[in-house]
Chains A and B, each alone.
Chain A
Amino acid sequence: MNTTTVSAAPVLHAGQTIRRADRRLGVFMLAPALLYITLLVALPFLLALFLSLTNSSAGSLEFSFVGLQNFKNVVASPVFRRALRNTFVFTFVSQAAVMVLGNVLARALMRPFFGKTLARFVILMPWAAPISLATLGWLWIFDSTFSVINWLLKVVGWLGPGQWYYWLGDTTLGMVAIITIHVWRMLPFSTVILLAGLTSIPNEVREASAIDGAGTLARIFQIEIPMMRPILTVAVLFGVVFTFTDMSVVYLLTRGGPYNSTHVLASLAFQDGVLGGDVGRGAAVAIFLVPVLVVLAIVMLRSSRRAEVV
C-alpha cells in the first residue's frame, strides 16, 4: 500500500508537469493565430458592426448612435442596390470564367509541348504582378479615348468610321472590363490548383477508363471532375470569397463610374466611408458582405471536412 503510494506519487507529479508544459506550449503555439484573428478579423468586424449603428465620420472621434438609420439610407439608395447586384455579377461571372479557362489551361499544361516552362512562367505572371501596376496597363488598354483594343479593331476593319467602344464610359462595357481584368488576375491561381488536382489522379484510372471505352467528355465529366471535386470546391470557394471582398480593380479602373454604376460593395464602402468620410454609412455598406461570407465560410468548412474524409 505504502509502496504503491510512494511509487505512484512521483509518476503522477511528472504527468502533471508534462501536461502543464503541454498546455503552456499549446497556448504559446496558438497565441499568434488567435492574436491575428482577434486583431485583424474579430476586432475590425465588431468595430464595423458598432460603427454602422453610429454617425461616425472620418475626421472625428466623437459619434452618437443612430440605430438602423444608416442601413435604412443605404438600402434606399439606388447606388447601393446597383453595387449589390454588381457584386454578385462580378463574383459569379468572373469565377465561372476562371474555372472554365483554368481547366482548359491546366489540361493544356499537362501535355508535353515545346516551351512549356516558358508558358507556365507567362501564365503565372499576372498572379505575381502588383495589381496597381497591372491595372494601370489595363487602363490604357480600355481607355475611352485612346483604347488599344479599339485601335486594333479599327485596323482590322471591325470598327467603321465613327464607331468606338467606350469601355469605361459605358455601364455594361465597364463591368466587362472589370471582370476581364479580374479573370486575368485570378486565372493563374486557379490553373495551378487545378493542375495539381489533375496530376493527383492516378494514370491507372485514366487507362482503365480508356479500356472501358470512355471518351474524352465522359472521362472529364464522369471521372476527373468528380475525383477533383474537393480541390475544385476549395478553389471555387477561395476565389468567390476573394472576389466578393475585392475592390482593387474597380477602384483603380473605373472608381465606380460611370455615374456610380460599376461599384461593388467593397468599393462603395471605401468611397462612402473613407473618401466621403461617412464611416457609419461605409460600415453599413460593408456589413452587407457578412451574410454571404458567413454562408461561404460554412460551405468551405463543410467541404474541407468532407475532403478530409475522402
Chain B
Amino acid sequence: MQTRRQFVVRGTKLVAVGAVAAAAGPTIFVRDAKADGQLKILQWSHFVPAYDKWFDPWAKEWGAKRGVNVTVDHVGFADVVPRATAEVAAQSGHDVHMFLGLASAFEEHVIDLADVVAALEKKYGKQVELAHRSTYNPFTKKQFALSDMWVPDPGNYHKEVWSKIGMENGPSTYDDLVKAAPEIKKVAPQMQIPIGVGLSQDIDSNMAVRNILWCHGGSIQDKDGNVVLNSPETLRALEYTKKLYSVGMTQAVLSWNAASNNQAFNAQETAYILNSISAYRTAQDNKLPVLANYFFTPALKGPTGTQLASEHVMSGYVVWKFSKSQDLAKELLVALVDASRDSMLGSKLYNFPSFFGAAAEPNTPLNRKQESGAAWIAAQCNKDPFGSTPPDKLALLAKSLPWSTNLGYPGFANPAEGEIFDTYVLTDMFAKAATGALSPKDAMAEASTRAKQIFDKWRQKKMVPGGGKDK
C-alpha cells in the first residue's frame, strides 16, 4: 500500500512536470508560432493624442505596402519599462519597443542598430548630439536604440502676472524665480503656487531637479562616468531650491504627478512651470481662459550662466533580440526617420526630429541637409500651423537645441542614470532639502551613497564606466 509520503512525492513529481511544461510551453509555442510578415510595435500613449492618430495609420500603411501586418499597441508612459521587463523575462512580445530615453538598461537584449544609424547619417547627416548620447553606449560601443525624435523642455509662464511684476518676458535666470515669487503673491494672491516647479516622484520633477542641478554646476556623474553628486555645486543647488520652496512653492509640488503642473498652470493656479508644449496644446484644444497668457521662456540660467534643460522626451526605439522580424523592424525605423516632417506635424510640433536633415527640403545636397532641416523646423515654430496667437509664440523652440541636453549630462545616458531616474533619488534629495526634512548636506550625502551603490552595481555588470574618481 502507498504511504502518505509516497503519495505526496508522487503528486509533487506530477506537479513539477506540469510546472516545467507550463513554464516552457509559452516560450516554445509563441516563438515558433510567430509568423513572418508581422511586425508588432509597442508605443507610449503620446502626450499629444493627435500624434497617435497620425502614427498608427502611418505604420499600418507602411506595412500594407510591404505586405506586412503591423500591430501598434499603446501603453501609458509609466508602463513602458515594466512592460519591457515582462517581455524580456518572457523572451516574447513585441518586435519594436519604444522607450522614453531610458532604454540603456535593456542593452543586453536588443540588437545593435549601428547599421541603421550609419545608413541614416549617410542619408541625412549627423543626428543631434543629445540623441546620440541617449542611445549609444561608448563603454560597450553598442548603438542599443534609435531616436527618431526628442522634445524640448521650455519654461511656461503666465504673461499677465509676470508683466504686472515688470518681467513681461518671464524669468531668464533661476534667481529671477526667487525674486519674482513674493511679487507674484502680491499681484496674484488667488494663485496657490506662484512657482510650480515639481519636487515629487514623477517624470517632470525628475527633469526639473536635474535642470536646477546642472545650472548650478552639479551633476550625478562626470563625463567619464564617475559619481560626483557629492559636491559644493550640488549643495548650492539644494540651498537654492530650499530658498525657492520657502518663498514661492507649497507642499502641493511634493505630490504632483505628470499631469499636475499642466493642470495647475491651465487652471491659473501657478505662474510658472517647466514643461513641453503638451499642456499648451491641451489649453488650445479646450479653449481655456489661460490661453491668451500662455507663453514660453528658454531654459533658465544658473548663477554662473550655465543654461541647460533636460530633453522632455527622448524616443529610444529598440529591436529585441528575440524578434523574428528584425530586418523589417530596422526598415520601419528608417521609414520613421524619413517621415520626420509628418511626425513633427502629427505631434503638433511636440516632436523635434533627431535627424534635422530628415526635415530638409527634397533634393538638398547632404552637406546642406541639416541646415535646410533646421530652417524648415524654424519656419514651423515661427508660424505655428496649429493656430497660436501670436503665430510666433513657439519661435524659441527652434533655438532650443543649444540649451537642451540628455539625461546623464555631462556624460552619456546609461543604466545607472536610468535607475536613479526611476527610483527618484534626485527628487527625493531635493524635496528633503527643500522642506527641511533633512539638511541640504545630509540630503546630498544620502543621495550620493545611493547613487554610488547603483553605479557600482552596473559597473560590476560592465555596462557603465568610471569609478576611480567617485566623490
Contacts and interface: CB of A to CB of B under 8 A. Distances in A.
Interface of A: 19, 23, 26-27, 30-31, 34-35, 38-39, 43, 55, 57-62, 64, 73, 77-79, 143-146, 164, 166-171, 174, 254-261, 271-272, 274-278
User: Which label, helix, strand, loop or mixed, suits the secondary structure of the A interface?
Assistant: loop
B11 A30 contact: yes
B14 A27 contact: yes
B451 to A, nearest CB: 12
B108 A62 contact: yes
B18 A35 contact: yes
Interface centre among A166, A174, A271, by most B CB within 10 Å?
A166
Contacts of A60: 88, 108-109, 461
Contacts of A258: 199-201, 251, 254-255, 431, 435
Nearest to B437: A259
Nearest to B427: A259
Contacts, number: 164
Interface of B: 1-2, 7, 10-12, 14-16, 18-19, 22-23, 81-82, 84-85, 88, 105-109, 192-193, 199-202, 250-257, 260, 263-264, 267, 269, 415, 418-419, 422-424, 427-428, 431-432, 435, 437, 446, 450, 453-454, 457-458, 460-461
A169 B10 CA distance: 56
Contacts of B450: 77
A237 B108 CA distance: 44
Given A34-B12, A77-B450, A278-B457, A260 B424 contact: yes
B423 A145 contact: no
Nearest to A261: B437
Given A259-B427, A277-B85, A78 B254 contact: no
B108 to A, nearest CB: 5
Contacts of B267: 145-146
Contact of B16 (A38, A79, A254): A38
A31 B16 CA distance: 10
A79 B454 CA distance: 15
Given A34-B11, A259-B427, A278-B419, A169 B250 contact: yes
User: Which label, helix, strand, loop or mixed, suits the secondary structure of the B interface?
Assistant: helix
Given A169-B250, A258-B251, A259-B437, A57 B105 contact: yes
B461 A168 contact: no
Given A61-B108, A169-B252, A259-B435, 12 more contacts: A27-B11, A35-B22, A60-B461, A143-B260, A144-B250, A144-B255, A145-B192, A257-B255, A257-B431, A258-B199, A274-B82, A277-B418
Contacts of B460: 55, 64
12 contacts: A35-B19, A38-B15, A77-B450, A79-B428, A144-B260, A145-B193, A146-B267, A166-B250, A169-B200, A169-B254, A258-B251, A275-B422
Nearest to B104: A59
A23 B17 CA distance: 19
A59 B255 contact: no
Contacts of B253: 169
A34 B251 contact: no
A73 B453 contact: yes
B457 A55 contact: yes
B406 to A, nearest CB: 19
Given A38-B16, A256-B201, A27 B10 contact: yes
A145 B264 CA distance: 7
A272 B85 contact: no
A39 B22 contact: yes
Given A259-B428, A260-B201, A59 B15 contact: no
